[in-house]
Amino acid sequence: MLRSFSVLTAILCLATGGCADYAAIGSARQARVEAGPPDAKKFAELVGSAAQLVKLAGTPEVSPLHVTHPPQGGDWMFCMKGSGLDERARFAVFIRDNAVLEVRASIIIDGCQGDAYRPLAPP
């Protein structure tokens, strides 16, 4: 009886502590998202930075900005592809505090395959 009470207490403490950290992170993220996405000039700079990171061929083509959702990182994201030889390669670019947080090959959860793209010349 005492052992099961100890195990139950430990689980309750871990669960409560984990939720407290998640709430703090969630509220900080919400504040950044409410501040809005980067402006057009900053967005163009972020596209240029991301294109250089992945050595994108041709002119970058980008999707509209989206608010991220767990488990994605950052607060905002967009998808990017090049107008070069391999147009099928798509990248997900994650932004936090007007800086590129991560650039990686897109996966299904990013929704890059269904996005509309437009050309955007780097600054």
For residues 47 and 60, give the distance between their C-alpha atoms in angstroms, rounded to a whole number: 7
Which whole number is the average pLDDT over 77-103? 89
pTM higher than the cut 0.75: no
Band (pLDDT 50/70/90 cuts) for residue 121 is low
Q: Which of 15-19, 20-24, 88-92, 102-106 has the highest mean pLDDT?
A: 102-106
Q: What are the sequence ranges of the domains in the chain? A: 1-35, 40-119
Distance set, CA 87 to CA 18, 106, 120, 121, 123 (Å): 42, 13, 15, 16, 21
pLDDT computed for residue 7 by the predictor? 46
Q: Taking the CB of residue 44, how many other CB atoms lie within 10 A of it?
A: 17
